[in-house]
């Protein structure tokens, strides 16, 4: 049975539209009186979502991914009735809790204790329900000492802790989650993820929006990829995320190509980059504990006295995994055509597809002589099936039969 029906939904916003609130109208009148108002341009429609349809079954977890502006957060705001669709139908069955704008209902002058009750009521909890959950909320937040302090004196991390703790303790049939794991420290993020798993295992229907595809991959059995307000793909995390990574790689490579073109003054160029195995055979596929040779061919039509070659290895989402410089003792002047080579052994990267970028810089001055998008390398294996996760996989030896004193 469906818990959510999202049927042929479209949502448009009018760019440049006139002010819609009293505060905005008064501010605009002031600008007009002072002569600071610019001439209004004709309104333009922006379609955040266009004819999107999906269903979420009871107790199912659905992940939604996509680039910035793809329509992910708009979908959650429509589901939570923060805004309403331009066309289409949305039906939800059961009590809903939203973790999409943490602390939106907090009042800065009120204490943490008062804001728990205020925010809880906004989320649909009755006072007796808040009373029953209050100790658990405070324990989860770890802010017992600060509950009688106005939240305007909280750090951003404390603010988010209390907001998540309150929202996560709403007994809801449907839970909407938007990027809550991108805030707070690492320990708090893990605590949030554990709480989400608890809610999932308790039978809650969850819609989870995130840029962190690793969390989506491990948390959601079904994923939707949005692109420019439309559904690009829907299916298992492995298939949908693979497509999303490919799109990310293409966008990142195009960005580096533009950067490369801007540095090309016909003085110094990176002509070619070769990837090889330890024996010098051309390859783009490597084992996590294997070796990789990188050979950089350059043409320097000027003399560079203190040249440095930098190899960047990036994850598909753009995260810098490592930068490899040639050591200072290997620095030599370069001029004309030449090549340098480095052996990386072992790689220690977890299975995935990585982008490699190469730069030539001056060690003494902030000058970049050349930039190139060198290509992709494939670390054998599938990231979802890897025994380790993260970016790199250091060698480890396990002893499973250690005898310890009783």
* pLDDT, tens only, 109-140: 999 999 999 888 877 788 998 999 999 999 98
Q: Which of 248, 227, 241, 244 is nearest to 48 (CA)?
A: 227
Please, what's the b/e burial string for 65-75 (b: 16 or more CB within 10 A of its CB; e: otherwise)? bbbeebbbbbb
pLDDT value at position 208? 92
Name the strands in the sheet holding 268-276, side by side, starting at the edge strand that comes first in the sequence. 268-276, 292-304, 334-344
Decide the pairing of beta strands 205-209 and 61-66: parallel
Measured CA distances, 149 to 110, 153, 304 (Å): 8, 7, 60
Give the tens place of pLDDT for each residue, 26-78: 666 666 666 655 555 556 788 999 999 999 999 999 999 998 889 998 999 99
CA distance 339 to 99: 53
Domain ranges of the chain: 2-14+44-244, 246-385
- Do the beta carbons of residue 166 and residue 137 sit within 8 Å? yes
Tell me the two tokens of residue 396.
């480890």
CA distance 48 to 77: 12
Topology of domain 2-14+44-244 in CATH is Rossmann fold (3.40.50)
- Do the beta carbons of residue 298 and residue 370 sit within 8 Å? yes
Q: Residues 236, 242, 245, 246: is their CA dihedral positive or negative?
A: negative
pLDDT higher at 366 or 183: 366
Instruction: Give the pLDDT band (50/70/90) at residue 239.
Output: confident
CA distance 215 to 389: 11
Tell whether the model's pLDDT for residue 91 goes beyond 90. Answer: yes
Tell whether the model's pLDDT for residue 207 goes beyond 90. Answer: yes
Beta strands in 147-260 (DSSP E): 174-178, 205-209, 222-227, 230-235
pLDDT higher at 79 or 17: 79
pLDDT value at position 102? 64
Q: Other C-beta atoms within 10 Å of 403: how many? A: 5
* 246-385: CATH architecture: Distorted Sandwich (2.70)
**Mutual orientation of helices 156-168 and 127-141 as an angle, nearest 10°?**
130
Q: What angle do CA 284, 288, 294 make, to 5 degrees?
A: 40
pLDDT value at position 16? 64
CA distance 346 to 365: 32
Q: What is the mean pLDDT of the chain?
A: 82
Tell whether the model's pLDDT for residue 103 goes beyond 70. Answer: no
Q: What share of the chain is helix, strand, coil (3-state, %, to 5)?
A: 30, 35, 35
Measured CA distances, 165 to 116, 139, 151, 169, 369 (Å): 9, 9, 14, 6, 50
Residue 20 backbone dihedrals phi, psi, to 5 degrees? -115, -10
Give the tens place of pLDDT for each residue, 257-306: 555 555 444 578 888 999 999 999 999 999 988 999 999 999 988 888 88
CA distance 143 to 141: 5
Query: To which H or E segment does residue 78 belong?
Result: helix 72-79
pLDDT value at position 266? 52
CA distance 71 to 226: 7
Residue 387 backbone dihedrals phi, psi, to 5 degrees? -75, -30
Give the tens place of pLDDT for each residue, 339-391: 999 999 999 988 888 889 898 888 777 678 888 888 888 888 755 444 556 78
CA distance 225 to 227: 7
């Amino acid at each position: 049975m469906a818990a959510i029906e999202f049927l042929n939904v479209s949502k448009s916003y009018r760019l440049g539209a006139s002010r819609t609130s009293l505060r905005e109208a008064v501010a605009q009148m002031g600008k007009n009186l002072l002569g600071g108002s610019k001439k209004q341009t004709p309104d333009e429609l922006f379609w955040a979502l266009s004819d999107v349809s999906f269903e979420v079954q009871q107790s199912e977890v659905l992940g939604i991914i996509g680039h910035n502006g793809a329509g992910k957060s708009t979908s959650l705001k429509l589901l939570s009735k923060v805004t309403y669709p331009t066309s289409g139908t949305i039906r939800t069955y059961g009590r809903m809790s939203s973790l999409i704008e943490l602390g939106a209902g907090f009042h800065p002058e009120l204490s943490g204790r008062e804001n728990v009750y205020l925010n809880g009521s906004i989320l649909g909890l009755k006072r007796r329900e808040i009373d029953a959950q209050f100790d658990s909320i405070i324990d989860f937040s770890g802010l017992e000492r600060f509950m009688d302090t106005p939240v305007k004196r909280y750090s951003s991390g404390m603010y988010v802790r209390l907001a998540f703790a309150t929202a996560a303790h709403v007994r809801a049939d449907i839970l909407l989650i938007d990027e809550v794991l991108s805030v707070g420290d690492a320990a708090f993020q893990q605590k949030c993820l554990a709480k989400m798993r608890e809610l999932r295992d308790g039978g809650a229907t969850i819609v989870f929006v995130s840029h962190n595809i690793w969390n989506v991959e491990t948390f959601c059995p079904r994923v939707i990829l949005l692109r420019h307000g439309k559904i690009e793909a829907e299916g298992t995390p492995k298939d949908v995320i693979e497509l999303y990574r490919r799109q990310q790689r293409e966008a990142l490579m195009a960005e580096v190509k533009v950067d490369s073109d801007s540095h090309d003054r016909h003085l110094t160029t990176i002509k070619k980059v070769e990837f090889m195995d330890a024996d010098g055979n051309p390859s783009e596929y490597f084992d996590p504990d294997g070796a990789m040779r990188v050979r950089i061919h350059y043409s320097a039509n000027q003399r560079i006295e203190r040249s440095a070659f930098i190899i960047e290895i990036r994850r598909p989402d753009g995260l810098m995994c490592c930068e490899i410089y040639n050591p200072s003792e290997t620095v030599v002047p370069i001029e004309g055509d030449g090549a340098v080579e480095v052996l990386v052994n072992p790689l220690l990267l977890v299975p995935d597809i990585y982008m490699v970028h190469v730069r030539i810089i001056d060690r003494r001055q902030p000058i970049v002589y050349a930039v190139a998008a060198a290509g992709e390398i494939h670390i054998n294996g599938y990231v979802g099936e890897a025994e380790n996760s993260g970016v790199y996989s250091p060698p480890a030896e396990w002893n499973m039969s250690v005898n310890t004193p009783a």
